[in-house]
Structure 1
Amino acid sequence: MISFDEAVATVREAATSLGAERVPLREAHRRVLADAVVARVSAPPADVSAMDGYAVRDADLQSLPARLPIAGESFAGQGFKGQLPPAQCVRIFTGAAVPAGADRVVVQEVVRREGDEAIFSEMPGAGRHIRRAGSDFRRGETLLDVGVLLRPGALVTAAGADVAELTVWRRPRVAILGTGDELVEPGTACEREGCIPESVSFGVAALAAEVGAEVVETLRLPDDLSRMRSAAARSLDGADVVVVTGGASVGERDFAKTMWDALGLELLFSKVAIKPGKPVWLGRVNDKLVIGLPGNPTSALVTSRLLMVPLLHGLAGRSPSDALVWKRLPLAAPLGPTGSRETFSRAFVEAGKVRLFDHQDSSSQKVLAAATLLVRRPPGEEPVPAGALLEVLDF
């Protein structure tokens, strides 16, 4: 049995990116760049107006009021042709190209129009209301570096650079195999004596999707070693990571590891000294990874958050460390001592302080709906008073 930090180090070493691929911009959300984005255009491509108003020369406003004929109009995408004639102005709209020769845009609110003439009665302020060509970025400039997670703002930047496709790290493909004779599809347990709804896979799949993985299969398996071995072999064909839930203890029907024996499972670790979740394990079959989670819902979701999520981060081209950003918050009420294992308790924030749920059983499900934090405490820690700062992780 290894420590939590040792398990994280093993995950970090195993979590190497899966290779790059080109995808359309519209399919790149939450992907990670494998190649930098370089601008193919400048933005703006020309001097453009920042306001609706009139493009003028400063020299034509030296004597006020000034009455200037309107030489034409400039719209975004359809600018005024030619140079601004002397002693005239051009009606211009936001985003439109500023005519050559114009020094500024006077906002329409301070201009009076009479027919084909514009009357300027007051001296414009210091603002010229012109966005200069390339003031945002220039053609050939690197706008997004390798490793950037493509969130909505980054997608706007990439599109503005006139890029239609992006080179990104491939998304990890995840198969989830839930084991246990007692598990049935939610909605049917009330009709079958001795059965319970299979709930763990829904949380595990959601966590995987949140970090950009693609869940390619979710399968419930009875505690039948022959069927489990067949399912294990098939799952490797389409997945980079196989998540096995349940069957990780030492009972007569706990086959979570045994089902992989014929496929050459190499265990990277088999137990971790944490509470809840001690039976969690990680292994490798050729170039595929297999992570085993406890069957109890809280244990499964906690170990998914602590170990599966960093693993998927690394496979998707992100740093596994980005998944484990700890912060320190004050404790709302005193806590008793911890036992022999590092403890991760479910908690929430109340009035800026951390409050643990009274119910911390590894099989609980109701608490999971309200828990927003995991509180980390070392093994053998003495009682902690209210107000003490504790390490917490978003959950």
Structure 2
Amino acid sequence: MIGFDEAIERIRPLAHPLGLEEVSLAEAHRRVLAVPVKALVAAPRTDVSAMDGYAVRDADLARLPARLRIAGESFAGGGYEGLLEQGECVRIFTGAPVPAGADRVVVQEVVRREDDLALFEAAPGPARHIRKAGSDFLQGDILLQEGTFLGPRQLVAAAAADLDMLAVWRRPKLMVLSTGDELTEPGTARHQSGTIPESVSFGVAAAAEQWGASYMGRAGLADRLGELEQAAALALRDADLVVVTGGASVGEKDFAKPMFEPQGLELVFSKVAIKPGKPVWLGRAGGRVVLGLPGNPTSAMVTARLFLAPLLAGLTGRDPASALRWRKLPLAGAVPPVGDRETFARGRSEDDGVRILSNQDSSAQKALAECDLLVRLRPGIAGTSPGQTVEVLDF
């Protein structure tokens, strides 16, 4: 059995991008760039006004008050074509091209209009209210580097580069297999004695999509080895990554690993010295990656956050470490002693820090919905008191 940090290092060789594809800007949200974004145009493409007002020559405001003839108007998308002459100004609006010959824009609030004349009574001040051509970026500038995660703000920059298609890393196709004779579809358990609703696959699938997977579907499977082997073969045929939940202990019907053995299962690790989630395992079979999660809901979701998230980060073109950004918060309450396994307690963020939930059972589901942080507690800690800082991870 290995420790948590070693398990993460063993994930790295498997967590590499699967190939690139081109997608439209509309499809690029939450994807990862495979090729840098280079601007095809400058921004702005010409000098433009930063305010609504009047474009003027400095020389015409040398003596105040000054009355200037309004020679025309300049709008965004339709500028004033002529050269600004002595004694003239141009009515201009935000984003509109600055007329040739103009030195500044005077904001409209300090200008009084009289028919086709503009009256300037006070000095305009130092601000010129002009955005110079290329002041944001120049044609050919790199706006986004390879490996950038494309959120809303990054998509603005990509569109501003005048690109309609982006090269991104392909999303890994994911299949979730849940095993257990006692499991039944949600909505039917109350009609079948001895069964419980299968809940884990829904949480795992949602977490996987959140970290970039292309979710293909789920299958609920009874603990019959022959059927499990067939399901494993089908999943490995179509998916890049297969997640199997349950059946990872040492019982007579624990077939999570044996079901992949006909496909040449090679284990990367088989257990990790953590609590909850010791039975978590990772391997390769049929040229695909297989991650085995415990069947208990809390254990499954904790190990999905700790191992599936960095695995998917790497498969989608990011650094696996980007999924494990620990930060420090003070404890809002005491923590009991920790045993010989590293513990990832479920906590909730509050105004005075993080509070460890009272129910830390690996099968808990109500408490799972109430937490938003994992609190990393190292082995052998005798106990912690309120105010002491701990490492936390968004959950």
Q: TM-score, normalised by structure 2?
A: 0.98
Indicate the residue corresponding to 1:326 in structure 2. 326
Distance 2:46 2:2 in 1: 61
SS in 1 for 2:231: helix
| Cα displacement (A) at 1:383 | 2.4
Do residues 240 (structure 1) and 247 (structure 2) align? no
The letter for the 2-side match of 1:371 is C
Indicate the residue corresponding to 2:316 in structure 1. 316
Do residues 341 (structure 1) and 341 (structure 2) align? yes
**Equivalence map 1:279-290=2 (5 Å):** 279-290=279-290
Indicate the residue corresponding to 1:36 in structure 2. 36
Indicate the residue corresponding to 2:104 in structure 1. 104
CA deviation digits over 1:344-372, x for unaligned, max 9? 11111233222211111100000011111
SS in 2 for 1:124: coil
Indicate the residue corresponding to 1:220 in structure 2. 220
**Equivalence map 1:1-395=2 (5 Å):** 1-395=1-395
Distance 1:34 1:231 in 2: 33
Distance 2:353 2:88 in 1: 65
Runs (4+) of structure 1 moved beyond 4 Å?
A: none
Task: Let me know the Cα RMSD of the aligned residues.
Answer: 1.2
Distance 1:378 1:126 in 2: 59
SS in 2 for 1:334: coil
| Cα displacement (A) at 1:18 | 1.0
Structure 1: 5+ residue stretches without partners: none
| Cα displacement (A) at 1:244 | 0.2
SS in 1 for 2:77: coil
The letter for the 2-side match of 1:239 is A
Greater Cα offset, 106-115 or 39-48: 106-115
CA deviation digits over 1:91-114, x for unaligned, max 9? 111100000000111111111112
SS in 2 for 1:177: strand
| Cα displacement (A) at 1:251 | 1.3
The letter for the 2-side match of 1:349 is S
Distance 2:287 2:150 in 1: 27
Distance 1:284 1:53 in 2: 66
Greater Cα offset, 211-220 or 308-317: 211-220
Counterparts in 2 of 1:63 and 1:386: CA distance versus 1, 3 Å: closer
- The answer to whether the 8 A contact 2:236-2:286 is kept is no
SS in 1 for 2:35: coil
Greater Cα offset, 131-140 or 23-32: 23-32
CA deviation digits over 1:247-277, x for unaligned, max 9? 1111111111111111111111111111110
Distance 1:362 1:112 in 2: 73
Greater Cα offset, 90-99 or 235-244: 235-244
Greater Cα offset, 44-53 or 187-196: 187-196
CA deviation digits over 1:69-127, x for unaligned, max 9? 11111110111112112211111111000000001111111111122221112221111
Q: TM-score, normalised by structure 1?
A: 0.98
Distance 2:242 2:213 in 1: 12
The letter for the 2-side match of 1:70 is I
The letter for the 1-side match of 2:215 is V
| Cα displacement (A) at 1:331 | 2.1
Distance 1:361 1:7 in 2: 23
| Cα displacement (A) at 1:12 | 1.7
Greater Cα offset, 229-238 or 48-57: 229-238
Give aligned pairs, total: 395
Distance 1:246 1:286 in 2: 21
Greater Cα offset, 343-352 or 132-141: 343-352
The letter for the 2-side match of 1:330 is P
Distance 1:61 1:132 in 2: 21
- The answer to whether the 8 A contact 2:229-2:259 is kept is yes
